[in-house]
Structures are given as structure tokens and as C-alpha cells.
Amino acid sequence: MFGGPKGCGKTSLARITAMAVTCDDLVDGEPCGVCTSCESIVLESSLNVDEFDAATQGTVDRIRSIISDLEYGSVGGKPRVVILDEAQRLSKAAQDALLKSVEDRRFVVILCTTEPYKIGEAIRSRLEEYPISPPPEKDVVARLELICKAEGIPYDLDALSIVSNHNKCCPRTCLTSLDTLCTLGGVSVSIVTDLFRYNSMKTLADILSNVDSDPATAFEKLDDLFSHEGPTWVRDNIIAAISSSLRVAIGAKSTYPVPVNFFQFRGLQWGDLARSLGSLDKPTPHDIEASIISTGRAVVRTTVLDVPVLFIPVAPIPSVIEPVITGWKSPPAPPPAPPVVITDSAPPPAPPAPPAPPAPRKPVLVELPARSLMVDGVNFTHDEKLTSLDHKVGFSTPPPTSTPLTADVDFDKLKIPIPEKEFSRGLIDRFKPPTS
């Protein structure tokens, strides 16, 4: 079994192994590559080597049919080689069908998979496992440079390095990117950055860096970004940028191709945003904007004073507020001066002396009225309404609607508690027996 990342040559290595098993002229264990058996494998016409895609032919019935063909033998007495690509897609029943067959010397099974852990432990104990790793970056760049020279493609070493890093040193995807760059005019830094959307990534990093300090500009850039990038791309790259910014904040290596250092603005709230975006299956621009707004704190500048105003949730105001006990009482105003009478014989009076400065204010204790009153086992509160008194006292007939006390005042419509004098008078009026 060859297991490793995609595009690193697992299937090609399986074919080379099949050539070594069936070659007619081995040289120190290596296939010659020129015999009839080796050429037939290269041309995919060998009768002893079969290659199957387990993603489409990984059923137990297909595996059983392959095993049943062993009864007919092979050509030239060579072992029968079966290459199962994408082996992680084999069903459990198909893997069980291979358990005894892989021990048959007439049958060589080569599994190629990007997820070796999905192969059952029972069959893995019968296999030889070879982990496949991507080649080093310098080897990939050297190979790409060799191809560019051989094909006459104009190139820049920095651009080749960007191609290798962007594709995570995967040879197959690097060659695919090189084919695309050939049609765009060559391998230069500007063309590579346009192909890999680094300009859009830079715009996205600027949006996240300024979303709190200058939200108007940030959302304008986000609207422009949605005009040429899909919401899914924006969602995935926001999550990648947040992860890379966290790595930068803790001193680890950045995994985003453009600089990101905005993690300190919101801190762990960026993690809430990444989690919120990750839960969106089919995001829309409005979903992404709502997630950005709902996490963190929005700073908006007022249009009058241009002062940043921070909008944060506040605690609800309690429904009952206890009164303040201490307060200030102003000193009494001085009495007005007596009128001045001017006559012809009397000299004009002297100007009045300036008033003395007011005495300093002293805090005094404000006595508040009682908040409740107990009468015959019935508790009446300070802010009671007269209609509620009726229900507590339990009149057989409602009291008169107009009394000298309530003729000009409708207590039930007051917005403030009843003054204590009116409260006591109304209470007494309710307890008085009705007069004839």
C-alpha cells in the first residue's frame, strides 16, 4: 500500500512496481522498461496488470469477479497484478473479500490511497505499507525550471517558488499550474499572483484589519470583492486568514500567502467568527456580513463630532429602582430688600452692601414616606392605585365615582405614585361606610 497526499506519484510508483514484478529482464531488481511486458504496461495493454478505480469499482461484487479470474491463470506464468487506486473508497465487504486473496502468491494487490487510516486493520496487517511524502521545495522548483528551459517558457525563479508553495509542493498540481501559466504569457510574479488570486486575498486581509476602525470602507471593499469572488471563496479564505493570523500572533509560521496580523484587534472573537462561517453550508454575501457584524464590537463615527462611538450590549435597566437616601438641600433665599424712597431734603442713601456669599451646602438626609401600610391584616403599598384598593377591601358595591377628594383628580391615570396625603385620604374614604 502506497499512502500519501494527492499528486505525489502513488499510482505511477504502483505501475513501476508492477513493471518490476512482470519484467522479463530485470537489472538489479529494476525493470528494464524496453521489454514486451514493460512496454505493454506503459501502453496499458498488459494482460497481467489491471488497474481499477475503487471509487467507481470498489464494490464487493467487482472484487469477487477479479478474484474469480485467478482460476484462469496468467500469461507467461507471471503473477497477476491488480492496482486499486483510491483504495479508501473500498467498501468494508470488498476489503473483507481481499483478506485471503492478498496472501496468494499468484495475486499481487497494490493499494493507492490518500487516506490510509480508512483501510481496515485486518487487511493492513497483511500489507506492506510505504508512506509517500511530497518532495522538497527545492527539488520541485528545480524540476519546474528544467521543464521551462526544455519547453522554452519564460520564467522567474521567484514565480516558480510561489507556484511550488501555493500547490504545497505537489508535483502534479504544479505541472497543471505551469500549463496554465504558459497560456497566460509566462511564469512571472505578476501573472502568478493574478492566477492564484493573491490580490483578492490582500483585499480580504485589509477588510478584516479595518473592519473595526473603519467599517464603512471595509464593507465597501467587501462589496467590491463579492463582485468577482464567490461567497464560498470568501468564507473559506476568511477562515484561512483567521487561522494564519492566530499563528502569527503566537509566533508560528504563517500559512496565508499574504501578510495577516489583525488577530490582536478582536482576539478570540475571531474564533467565533470562523466557527460561525464554518457552519454556513451555502453562504450568501448577507450571511457573511451578518457573521462579521455579530462578532466583535462595531465602532461607528458620528457625522457631527466625528467621535468614535462604541456600540456594546448593556445590562437591562431594573424595573424597580430604590430611591436615593442622601441628597442636597439648597439654603433659603434671602428676603427682598425694602424699597428706597428718595426725597429732595434727604441725601441719597448709600448703595446697598453686597450680599453675603451663600453658605456651603451640606448633605442632609431626606426622609421618604413609608412604602407600605398594614390595616387589619391587609398590606397596602405606597404606589397603590385606588382601583386595586377596591379589590383588596372588597366592597359589595363600588364606591361613589365622584367625591370631594377625587372630583378633580383621576388617580388611576396618574403616572407617578400617589402623594401620601392623598393616599391616606383615599384610603380613609374607602373605609367610610356609605352615607345615605
Does 403 score more than 60 pLDDT?
A: no
Distance CA 244, CA 263 (A): 9
Q: What pLDDT is stored for residue 241 in this prediction?
A: 93
Could you tell me if 215 and 300 are in contact, meaning their C-beta atoms sit under 8 angstroms apart?
A: yes
Mean pLDDT, range 293-304, rounded to an integer: 54
The C-alpha cell at 6 is 494527492
**pLDDT above 70 coverage of the chain, percent:** 67
Ranking 89-103, 138-152, 282-296, 299-313 by mean pLDDT, the lowest is 299-313
pLDDT band of 384, cuts 50, 70, 90:
low
Kindly provide the b/e burial profile for residues 311-330, where b requires at least 16 CB atoms within 10 angstroms of the residue's own CB: eeeeeeeeeeeeeeeeeeee
The C-alpha cell at 176 is 497543471
CA dihedral 274, 275, 281, 285 (to 10 degrees): -40
DSSP structure class, residue 362 = -
Whether the pTM exceeds 0.85: the reply is no
pLDDT band of 62, cuts 50, 70, 90:
confident
Q: Going by C-beta distance under 8 Å and a sequence separation of 6 or more, which residues neighbour residue 124?
A: 1, 116
Mean pLDDT, range 273-285, rounded to an integer: 91
Does 113 score more than 90 pLDDT?
A: yes
Does 427 score more than 50 pLDDT?
A: yes
Q: What pLDDT is stored for residue 382 in this prediction?
A: 62
Nearest-5° Cα angle at 382, 379 to 384 = 75
Mean pLDDT, range 332-341, rounded to an integer: 58
Residue 131: Cβ-neighbour burial (10 angstroms; 0-12, 13-18, 19+): exposed
Q: Which helix (H) or strand (E) holds 278?
A: helix 269-278
pLDDT band of 421, cuts 50, 70, 90:
low
Q: What pLDDT is stored for residue 317 in this prediction?
A: 36
**pLDDT above 90 coverage of the chain, percent:** 31
Residue 255: Cβ-neighbour burial (10 angstroms; 0-12, 13-18, 19+): middle
Higher pLDDT, 381 or 315: 381
Mean pLDDT, range 217-226, rounded to an integer: 92
Higher pLDDT, 56 or 235: 235
235 CB-side CA count, 13 A: 19
